[in-house]
Structure 1
Amino acid sequence: MLLNVPTLVAVDLYVVTLVGVLMAFAWHSGRRDPTLGYMSAMLLLAALSTLLIGLRSVGLIGVSIILGNMVMMLCCAMLWTSMRVFAGRSPHWPGIGAGALVWLLLCLWPAFYQSMPARIMVNSAATSLYCLLAAFELWRSRRQLEVSLRPTLVLLLFHASFYSVRLFLDRGTPFAIPDGPGATFFAVLVFETMLIAVGLAFTTLTMVRDRAELKLRSAALSDPLTGIGNRRAFMESGERLLRLCAERDETVALLVCDLDNFKRLNDAFGHPAGDQALMEFSRITASRMRRQDVFGRIGGEEFACLLAEAGTEAACQVAERIRREFAELPFIADGMLSVSIGVATSAEAGHDLARLLALADQALYLAKSRGRNRIERSTPRPGAEGRSRG
């Protein structure tokens, strides 16, 4: 079945323009992610290049060959830029304009301008190169992006491969021989480009949405001052770690840490000093945590650390390093920084987070009552509950 080229061009122009306008609306009215702005520019430039290249059928050959393909190069550059920006890098303006500039300079060479095979080769090579660059931007940042990149990568690589194959199949006769093989391939080219444009718009919007949701979830689970997990994050991650350790029959230790005399510190030196103390304690403690451990701020000046595969002795060693390093920090006044730590393990409480917290809380209360700036181990007593401390 032959595809009608003029009809396909008209449909392509309408669909790509519509998707480009909708993408611009999504960027302007909602997420404000620059990735959507560059993707919108790519789609609208694609529509413009289709219109300009189509002017060849009405005799405007120079406009079609020179201006139409320059716009197409800019379109491909915007595709690369949108993926580059999504990966967290800034636009590379020389690279954006390089393709269009090279095309213009080549068209000043009569031998190139008059050779359809040469123009097809350069156009196809440039399109494939920009697609591969876009795929590379995503691939090298795949661990940091934390969203599904596979659909976009597949589309980019397919588009690059398609334009590589074009070098061998496109004879460059889209209008001169309506029923010839060149016309058939040109129709397929228009159809493929339209589908890829729509597909990339959809997958890019999905990636932007998924990343925005991840950021919102991260904000909901992190403490805004210290940047570590909040109480909700600690409880969720702690429960997961305890289930895993219970399945493996591994001992887990919990440290509950409370900064000493925190209210007096705030009263004497102001809230900025208190905030600084909280941030410094978070930094020191986080540096002592392993990847599998869970650390969070569970109250105003209270923190908890869940240590995987750790018994009482190992937990007390970690707690002592934290206590000593925090107390030795240079601060506004000597002796103002100290922390009391209560330690409990699953050997006493089982793999039950609520029970571990209760036992560690008892030990923390004991550390406070014995003079602060010390570590105490839990001594479980039936029916005992944690008490308040200062």
Structure 2
Amino acid sequence: MVLHIPTLLVVSVFVFALMGLLTVHAWLRETRERPLAYLGCMMLLAALGVVLISLRGKGFDVVAIMLGNVILLLSAAMNWTAMRVFAGRSPNVPGILAGAGVWLGLCLVPAFYEAMPARVSTYSMLAAGYGLLTTLEFLRSRKTLEVAYLPALILTVLHTLFYCVRSVTDLGLPLDQALTGAGTGVPFFSFMLFESMLYVIGIAYVTLAMVKERAELRFKAAAFCDSLTGVGNRRAFMLYGEQRLKDCQRRSQPVALLLCDLDHFKRLNDTFGHHLGDQALIAFGRVMTDSLRHQDVFARIGGEEFACLLMDSDIRQAVLVAERIRQAFSQLTLLEPGLLSVSIGVVTTRESGYDLVRLLSQADAELYGAKSNGRDRVQAAGLNELIRQNV
């Protein structure tokens, strides 16, 4: 069955324009995600390009052949740019203009301008080149995208393969033959328009889905992150801490909990201002991050209070880590030596079991003891017993 080409041309223009306007609308009203802006631009350029190439054979061949294909190549470049920006890279202006520049340069050669098979093959290779670049953007960023990008990748690969096939099989079809449905290239031309519409609709849908998924991930991350220090908050600590404790209990691995409280924090705020107090909290968060392993769970659970679960750690190892943290924080040059200090209470699952609430309660008691004994120290449950055993 041969699709009616004049109808396909009209429908494709309206589909491209409508999808472009809807995508731009989504960018303006909802997310302000730049990939949607580039994708909307791609679709609107495609609509304009189809209108211009439809003028071929009507006394506007220069406009149709040169400008129309330039617009379509810029549209393909915008598709690549949309995915490039989504992957976290900046637009490549030379790359965007390269396809259009090559086309304009070749059109200045009379032999190329007059040869339709050469034009069709060259345009298809340039379009396939942008498709290949888009595919590479997905593959380069597959470990960092954190969204379901596979549908977009499959659509792009199929679209690219289509233009690769076209570059070696399509000899071109004069527009008058296309409009009358005569000529051997009519079925391929019809399928090309149909494929383009399917690709535009598909890539718009999956890109919107990826943008939405990433926005949801960001909202979830924000809900579990302390906005000042950038580390986890109490909600994250309770959720992930309980999960890790269950895993360790199942494997019979010891876990240690460190409860840290910055000393004289109110006095620090009153004397030097809240800005410096915030800087002290941020600095302590960095000290903790540098001192811990990837598998450990760490968060700011209160004003100047931080907690950490050390996986597969006994009391001796936990005290060593706590002392390293205490010393690193006291040596920071944020204030004069001696003005920054932290008290740390330490407990392990050996004494308190694998219940996180109980661990926090026992660690708080040890922290209170560290405060009562002069601050700037580590106090651990069961440490005295361990020392006696070693003696």
TM-score, normalising length from structure 1? 0.94
1:110-121 equivalent positions in 2, closer than 5 A: 110-121=110-121
Counterpart position of 2:35: 35
**CA distance 1:181–1:235, shift in 2 (3 Å):** farther
After superposition, give the CA deviation of every residue in 1:133-175 in whole Å (9 maximum; x if it has no partner): 1121232122222111111111111111110011233231264
Q: Following the alignment from structure 1 to structure 2, what is the Cα–Cα distance between the partners of residues 165 and 349?
A: 68
1:312 aligned partner, one-letter code:
I
Counterpart position of 2:51: 51
Q: Following the alignment from structure 2 to structure 1, what is the Cα–Cα distance between the partners of residues 331 and 104?
A: 66
Q: Following the alignment from structure 2 to structure 1, what is the Cα–Cα distance between the partners of residues 115 and 334?
A: 75
1:105 aligned partner, one-letter code:
G
Correspondence for 1:346 among 345, 349, 353 = 349
Counterpart position of 2:386: none
Matched, 1:374 2:363: no
Counterpart position of 1:388: none
Counterpart position of 1:98: 98
CA RMSD, Structure 1 to Structure 2 (Å): 1.5
Given that residues 66 and 104 in structure 1 are in contact (C-alpha distance below 8 angstroms), is that contact kept between their aligned partners in structure 2? yes
Counterpart position of 1:317: 320
Q: Following the alignment from structure 1 to structure 2, what is the Cα–Cα distance between the partners of residues 308 and 379?
A: 18
1:15 aligned partner, one-letter code:
V
2:269 aligned partner, one-letter code:
N
Counterpart position of 2:203: 200
Q: Following the alignment from structure 1 to structure 2, what is the Cα–Cα distance between the partners of residues 359 and 131?
A: 59
> Shift of the alpha carbon at 1:350?
2.1
> Shift of the alpha carbon at 1:63?
2.0
Correspondence for 1:360 among 346, 358, 363 = 363
Counterpart position of 2:11: 11
Matched, 1:187 2:183: no
Q: Following the alignment from structure 1 to structure 2, what is the Cα–Cα distance between the partners of residues 122 and 167?
A: 7
Structure 1 alignment gaps of length 5 or more: 381-390
Matched, 1:336 2:339: yes
Given that residues 148 and 210 in structure 2 are in contact (C-alpha distance below 8 angstroms), is that contact kept between their aligned partners in structure 1? yes
> Shift of the alpha carbon at 1:313?
0.8
Q: Secondary structure at the match of 1:200?
A: helix
Q: Following the alignment from structure 2 to structure 1, what is the Cα–Cα distance between the partners of residues 331 and 314?
A: 26
1:363 aligned partner, one-letter code:
E
Counterpart position of 2:387: none
**CA distance 1:102–1:168, shift in 2 (3 Å):** closer
Given that residues 359 and 379 in structure 1 are in contact (C-alpha distance below 8 angstroms), is that contact kept between their aligned partners in structure 2? no
Higher mean C-alpha deviation, range 1-10 or range 68-77: 1-10
Given that residues 349 and 355 in structure 1 are in contact (C-alpha distance below 8 angstroms), is that contact kept between their aligned partners in structure 2? yes
Q: Following the alignment from structure 1 to structure 2, what is the Cα–Cα distance between the partners of residues 314 and 181?
A: 78
Counterpart position of 2:249: 246
> Shift of the alpha carbon at 1:84?
1.3
Q: Following the alignment from structure 1 to structure 2, what is the Cα–Cα distance between the partners of residues 297 and 73?
A: 51
Counterpart position of 1:296: 299
Q: Which runs of 4+ in 1 moved over 6 A?
A: none
Given that residues 174 and 183 in structure 1 are in contact (C-alpha distance below 8 angstroms), is that contact kept between their aligned partners in structure 2? no
Counterpart position of 1:156: 156
Q: Following the alignment from structure 1 to structure 2, what is the Cα–Cα distance between the partners of residues 239 and 181?
A: 68
Given that residues 363 and 379 in structure 1 are in contact (C-alpha distance below 8 angstroms), is that contact kept between their aligned partners in structure 2? no
1:145 aligned partner, one-letter code:
L
Given that residues 106 and 113 in structure 1 are in contact (C-alpha distance below 8 angstroms), is that contact kept between their aligned partners in structure 2? yes
Given that residues 12 and 190 in structure 1 are in contact (C-alpha distance below 8 angstroms), is that contact kept between their aligned partners in structure 2? yes
**CA distance 1:105–1:252, shift in 2 (3 Å):** same
Counterpart position of 1:25: 25
- Taking only the aligned residue pairs, the percentage that are identical comes to 52
Correspondence for 1:274 among 273, 277, 283 = 277
Q: Following the alignment from structure 1 to structure 2, what is the Cα–Cα distance between the partners of residues 50 and 252?
A: 65
> Shift of the alpha carbon at 1:96?
1.1
Given that residues 257 and 303 in structure 1 are in contact (C-alpha distance below 8 angstroms), is that contact kept between their aligned partners in structure 2? yes
Counterpart position of 1:138: 138
1:377 aligned partner, one-letter code:
A
> Shift of the alpha carbon at 1:379?
5.4
> Shift of the alpha carbon at 1:315?
0.7
Given that residues 174 and 186 in structure 1 are in contact (C-alpha distance below 8 angstroms), is that contact kept between their aligned partners in structure 2? no
Structure 2 alignment gaps of length 5 or more: 384-391
